[in-house]
Structures are given as C-alpha cells and as structure tokens.
C-alpha cells in the first residue's frame, strides 16, 4: 500500500480488525520512511446489479435514487431517515442474494411496497400512486380499500 503522505510504495500493517458491521477489515498502517500512520479499509468487491426498466432500458442499480423515491413518499411522516436507509439496505441485501445480476424495476418496486405497507399506510399509498401509475382518483380509492381489508 502506497503511503498517502510521502508516496513510499511499501507500508507496514501495525493493526488489523473487523469493522463493527463485519463488512470490512480496518488496517492501521505505518510508513517506514516518514513514520506517519494512516488507516485503510478492505472490502469485498460487490457485483453490479443491473435494473431492467419498464421500457426495456438497463441501468446500474442506484441506491441513492431508491432512497430519494422513498423519501418523497414519506414526506412529513413520522419516519426517520435511518429507517429509510434500513429499508434500502435490506432491499440491496435481498437483491444481492438473488442468483441473477439483472432485476426488473417492478420487482424492486414490490419490495419497497411490502416494506412501506408494514411501516406507514400513507407512505405506502404515496409510493403506490407513482409506482402503479394511478390514472384517476378511483385507483387510489381501490388501493385504500384493499389496504383496509388487509389490516382487518
């Protein structure tokens, strides 16, 4: 590992340990030339998830895009940002556990709906209105009725 301070190409590892979430190894390093210390993190390389859009386009899975769409649906609801991050990370874990590296956007939308339905009815309806492309008020009314039946 190259020293970020002096550029020396060989540094010594003086301490290694797992991070709290066990997703990386934290290494404390020291440069034998300038004697400065720095930290590096070693993580496994993750495969790319490709999302197949409704119109057939393919694009790389964008975690931030998913966070933003959920944030829109929970606007002014009593749901923390951390909860949104939990939802997105659980979806990403589920996607990575699947055999295929390509996933339909509709599958991701259904995953979000399942989680929002358990969390907050209003956020669920807001997300469903966009995801299911409601065209008229009756579509929203029908979705609310279906939600009420499931709650009973």
**Interval 50-101: pLDDT, tens:** 999 999 999 999 999 999 999 999 999 999 999 999 999 999 989 988 878 8
Please name the residues in contact with 128: beta carbons below 8 A apart, sequence gap of 6 or more: 113, 134, 143
Helices 81-97, 105-119: inter-axial angle, 10-degree rounding: 140
Instruction: Over range 13-36, report the average pLDDT.
Output: 94
CB atoms within 10 A of CB 68: 11
pLDDT given at position 151: 80
Domain ranges of the chain: 1-45, 50-151
Q: Which positions ≥6 away from 42 have C-beta within 8 Å?
A: 24, 25, 27
> CA–CA separation, 150 vs 68, rounded Å?
27
pTM for this entry: 0.71
Q: In whole angstroms, give the CA distance from residue 53 to residue 45.
A: 25
């Amino acid at each position: 590992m190259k020293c970020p301070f002096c550029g020396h190409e060989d540094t010594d590892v003086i301490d290694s340990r797992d991070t709290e979430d066990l997703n990386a190894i934290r290494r404390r390093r020291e440069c034998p030339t300038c004697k400065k210390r720095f930290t590096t993190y070693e993580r496994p390389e993750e495969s790319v998830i490709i999302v197949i859009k409704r119109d057939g386009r393919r694009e790389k899975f964008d975690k931030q895009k998913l966070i933003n769409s959920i944030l829109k649906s929970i606007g002014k609801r009593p749901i923390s940002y951390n909860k949104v991050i939990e939802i997105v990370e659980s979806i990403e874990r589920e996607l990575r556990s699947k055999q295929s590296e390509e996933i339909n956007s509709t599958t991701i939308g259904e995953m979000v709906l399942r989680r929002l339905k358990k969390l907050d009815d209003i956020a669920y309806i807001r997300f469903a209105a966009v995801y299911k492309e409601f065209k008229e008020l009756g579509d929203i009314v029908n979705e609310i009725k279906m939600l009420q039946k499931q709650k009973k």
